[in-house]
Structure 1
């Protein structure tokens, strides 16, 4: 199969680097266009990232450099450069890992889509746009079907925008969805996240603030953690999304001195129908969601992994499970206040960022929206 040429906006940032590393040997996609801030424009990609190569997967000096190191970085603000790349066959769509103000990102992603360039975004700017799908491939793949309506609403021909949700909810949304699909309604959730420093980008939290410390505040994270699941669990009505009425979620989000891997401590309250612990384990172990015939390269074979050890999961030991795309769950037990409680770990810059974006692009290709 001839690979589809793709571009990366924000290619020099933490998430952009992860895209470069994960796409280095991708069977469907090939990085042929990179763009970043004006200060990086005009440089070789290898020069632009220089000493700040921080992707946890791949070495810029090794095989992962083949796709991107020799590319010239363009100015991400210059949509005409990307449009020219599309015209000459070097870019069919872009991954957005832009790091700038929300309004700036919204306007820029809209400009790319209006220019006929599909945008698969990691940024938060368009997550609450009423006709933009916020996708977790295993949970709400049907939300992609709003794309024709989005294009019609905006008068766009080939371009559109699809986004992935915040990294902080990846550890519990798939397990939650598996239970809902099995017929067990969840009424309330309390979640405390212990979030890795890589989630704050590079250079991130100053060392004197995070070493030997826990920072109990991450701007905007608790609101995202509490609200984004409602759109993901919602439905398309007319030309826009309508949020699900529940579950109610209360979140505490903390920054901890871990490089990669977000941990979530979760308590769930069910409705009248309550599963046993053994039934929950069966549901999570059997959960697949994505049809095997799609054969999406980034999709985990086992999306939810149950750990029986009393001290697992742990970020350092479990974040890379299933190419960094699985959720590892342990300490599943009864809760004295709600019904059950558990601890979950997911890789924030893979499953929660670049890997999740790539999986969304694979899903969109499989559904006929890309390629």
Structure 2
């Protein structure tokens, strides 16, 4: 059975990636697209400044864009994928949930709310059970699920593998983040060419909080956040796609490079269409992963790890993920697949 899907905020960078994922998807069919009021009534071709190398699918290009309002959403839509700016998502997403829609959202609002599942299906699929708590507390017929920030999602799978093997006490991360993470108009060429920007507003806090919730334990009623200390420094660099991160960990048990590589390689994917067979690819080469060479591995959904070294008290490694694929649109689609598998659609 095909599940009807709507995309709210469909014309932006993540909305376009959602179309890339969903148009050929085996389980979802795009039946509704929304954007700003100024674009309502236009065809998608007219409303969107298409930035992806693949052409707009013809059936999508001729769809009429509607306003972002649950009253404008067709009744037969089973799931809504949200790529709204957080300020808009905070105002609009609860309206969709109250109207009975299940929302899989990439927007940052609400990610750390106690009753909102923040999920990476390969890491903490059981947290989806928070939806029962959410519906009881909020009285929604619909539901709201979040995927984490694109920089958080890059480091958490290898951290989960290392935590399972050795236990985590502390994490320090310095990021080298691509300009696409700021959206098409987020960083001007004059700011970023021949430059690096050692600050991304709000990004450090997202990494420091979201990672602890993702690695936490769900007891059926609430998530107890992981007690590891997490420190982040976030930097924008002039790559187009792919967030590269340098990570240092303190572990509870002694950790060797050989055991860490095995833990990462053995960390399983999810039995979902968009999850790669091997979630974490471990490089032996000391100069990998690199954004241009490694961001598109497994349709942009794999996490690449390299440079593993022992340190005093733990391990150091580099990790990379495609920030608008695995880190945004693909993460929302994975959560949609999890919702379908768990019977919420």
Report the TM-score, using the length of structure 2 for normalisation: 0.96
Q: What does 1:24-35 correspond to in 2, within 5 Å? A: 24-35=23-34
Cross-structure match for 1:81 = 72
Query: Are 2:5 and 2:28, in contact at CA under 8 Å, matched by a contact in 1?
Result: yes
Cross-structure match for 1:48 = 47
Cross-structure match for 1:248 = 229
Cα offset, 1:338, TM superposition? 4.5
Query: Residues 27, 238 of structure 1: CA spacing in aligned structure 2 closer, same or farther, 3 A cutoff?
Result: closer
Q: What does 1:231-246 correspond to in 2, within 5 Å? A: 231-236=213-218, 239-245=221-227
RMSD over equivalenced CA pairs, Å: 1.4
Encode CA deviations 1:95-144: one digit per residue, 9 max, x unaligned: 0100252xx42231111000000100000011022200000111110000
Give the counterpart of 2:157 among 157, 174, 180: 174
Give the counterpart of 1:70 among 62, 69, 87: 62
Cross-structure match for 1:144 = 128
Cα offset, 1:209, TM superposition? 0.4
Query: Are 1:24 and 1:67, in contact at CA under 8 Å, matched by a contact in 2?
Result: no
Cα offset, 1:66, TM superposition? 3.4
**Unaligned 5+ runs, structure 1:** none
Q: What does 1:1-371 correspond to in 2, within 5 Å? A: 2-49=1-48, 52-55=49-52, 58-60=54-56, 65-76=57-68, 78-82=69-73, 85-86=74-75, 89=76, 91-99=77-85, 101=87, 104-157=88-141, 159-182=142-165, 184-236=166-218, 239-245=221-227, 247-271=228-252, 273-290=253-270, 294=271, 296-335=272-311, 337-370=312-345
Encode CA deviations 1:225-266: one digit per residue, 9 max, x unaligned: 111111112234575433222x11111100000000000001
Cα offset, 1:181, TM superposition? 2.0
Cα offset, 1:55, TM superposition? 3.0
Q: Distance in 2 between matches of 1:298 and 1:214?
A: 33
Q: Distance in 2 between matches of 1:207 and 1:338?
A: 41
Query: Are 1:150 and 1:239, in contact at CA under 8 Å, matched by a contact in 2?
Result: no
3-state SS of 2:260 partner:
helix
Query: Residues 176, 40 of structure 1: CA spacing in aligned structure 2 closer, same or farther, 3 A cutoff?
Result: same
**Unaligned 5+ runs, structure 2:** none
Q: Distance in 2 between matches of 1:29 and 1:116?
A: 18
Cα offset, 1:161, TM superposition? 0.2
3-state SS of 1:68 partner:
helix
Q: Distance in 1 between matches of 2:137 and 2:188?
A: 44
Query: Are 1:233 and 1:243, in contact at CA under 8 Å, matched by a contact in 2?
Result: yes
Q: Distance in 2 between matches of 1:95 and 1:14?
A: 14
Report the TM-score, using the length of structure 1 for normalisation: 0.90
Query: Are 2:130 and 2:220, in contact at CA under 8 Å, matched by a contact in 1?
Result: no
